[in-house]
Amino acid sequence: MYDVVIVGGGPAGLSAALMLGRCRRAVLLCDTGHPRNEASHALHGYLTRDGMNPHEFLASGRRELRQYETVTVRDVAVVAAECGADSRFEVTLAGGESVHARKLLVATGVRDEVPPLEGIEDLYGRSIFHCPYCDGWEVRDAPLAIYGRGERGLGLSLELTVWSRDLVLCTDGEAEIDAEGCARLQRNGINLREDRIARLEGRDGILERIVFAGGETLPRRALFFTTGQYQQSPLAIRLGCDFNDKGTVRTGKYETTHLKGLFVAGDASRAVQWVIVAAAEGAEAAFAINTDLIKEDLLS
C-alpha cells in the first residue's frame, strides 16, 4: 500500500512528489514522459529558470527526487484507477500490474488541438505557439498571425496587441465573429483574413510565410493559435470528476475533488496553465494530502 500514487511526472506531479517525499510518505510516481510542452525549446516565465530547456527542467526535477528513498519513479502508464468503499485506490498500470494507494493525485496535463495545417509540425514550439505569456516576448513587435475563429480568435488577437501591433487574424474559413467583433478588430488595427490556408512555410523551425489556397502569401514571423485542448488522460473523466467548459477539472481548495482522497493538479485542473502554477498546485495538493494522512493516522 503506497501512501500516494501520483499519475503524471510533469511539473505538477514532480513538485507534489518532492513535497510528499520530504514528508516521508511512500510515493509512487508513474509517468509516460509526454509533457504538454514537449515540442518547446525554452521554458519562459518561471523565476530562476527563464529560458531553460523544458526537458532539462523535468530531468533536473527527477534528479532531485533521487535523494528521497520514499519516492519511486516509474516510466509506466496508469491505465485505470478505482476508488473502493474504504476510500482506498486500486491503480492499474500498463501491463496489468495493480498497486494500491491511500490517496491518488492525477497530474496528467492536457494536450492542445494543433491546427491541421500542412508544414506545422516543423514549426510547432519554435514559432507556432498558443500562449503569448510563454512565447510572446521572443517575437515582440514582429509580424504575427493568429489562428482561430469566433470569440477565441477575437480574444487572442486583442490580447496579442500587448506584444505586437502587426497582427493578422487568419480564420481559415468563415470568421464566425459578429459585426461588433469585426469592428473591434478594425479599431485596434488587426487585419482579418478568412481565406483558406494551403500551408505554412519556414526554415529551421521559424515561420516565414502563410500560403493561402488562392496562392497569395503573407509573410509572418510567428503564429499563435487557439483551437482548444483536451485531457491527456481519461482518468479524471472515468473517476467522475466535474469539468468546466474549458475541459479542465473543477477543483476545490488545495486541488481537492468530489471524491475523498482524489486530487487533480496542474493543467488538468482549473486555473492558469503555466509551469510555475502547475508546480505550485502540485505542492498545494501535497500539503493537503499530507495533512489528511496525519489526521487519519494520529490517535485523537
Does 107 bind ligand FAD (CB under 6 A)? Our answer is yes
Contacts of 122 by beta carbon, 8 Å cutoff, 6+ apart: 202, 205
Binding segment toward ligand FAD, per CB under 6 A, in 19-27, 61-69, 127-135, 204-212 = 127-135
Collapsed DSSP state (helix, strand, coil) of residue 260: coil
Under 8 Å between Cβ of 101 and 88: yes
The HSE-up count of residue 257 (CA atoms within 13 Å, CB side) is 25
What letter would DSSP give residue 257?
A: -
**From 21, 35, 136, 202, residue interacting with ligand FAD (rule: CB under 6 A):** 35
Least Cβ distance, residue 176 to ligand FAD (angstroms): 24
**Given candidates 21, 61, 109, 115, which one binds ligand FAD under the rule CB under 6 A?**
109
Q: CA angle at residue 282 from 276 to 285, to 5 degrees?
A: 140
**119 neighbors 126 (Cβ within 8 angstroms):** no
Paired sense of beta strands 229-231 and 110-112, if any: antiparallel
What's the closest the beta carbon of residue 123 comes to ligand FAD, in angstroms? 11
Q: Which residue of 16, 19, 27, 78 would you call a contact of ligand FAD, by CB under 6 A?
A: 78
Among all chains, which residue has been given the C-alpha cell 497582427? 167
Q: Which stretch binds ligand FAD (CB under 6 A): 25-33, 168-176, 180-188, 205-213?
A: 25-33
- Residues in 246-285 that interact with ligand FAD by CB under 6 A: 266-268, 273-276, 278
How many chain residues are in contact with ligand FAD, going by CB under 6 A? Answer: 42
**Binding letters toward ligand FAD, positions 206-235, x by CB under 6 A:** --------------------------xx-x
Determine, following the binding rule CB under 6 A, whether residue 34 of this chain makes contact with ligand FAD: yes
Stretch that binds ligand FAD, among 11-19, 148-156, 170-178, 292-300 (CB under 6 A): 11-19
* C-alpha to C-alpha distance for 20 and 11, rounded to whole angstroms: 14
72 exposed, middle or buried (CB, 10 Å; 0-12, 13-18, 19+)? middle
Using CB under 6 A as the binding rule, whether residue 37 contacts ligand FAD is answered as: yes
Report the alpha-carbon distance of residue 7 to residue 22 in Å, rounded. Answer: 18
Find the shortest distance in angstroms from Cβ 248 to ligand FAD. 10
Nearer residue to ligand FAD within complex by CB, 189 or 234: 234
Strand ranges of the sheet holding 197-203, from the earlier edge strand across to the other edge: 197-203, 206-212, 217-219
Binding-site ranges for ligand FAD (CB under 6 A)? 7-13, 30-37, 39-40, 43-46, 77-78, 107-109, 112, 125, 129, 131, 134, 232-233, 235, 266-268, 273-276, 278
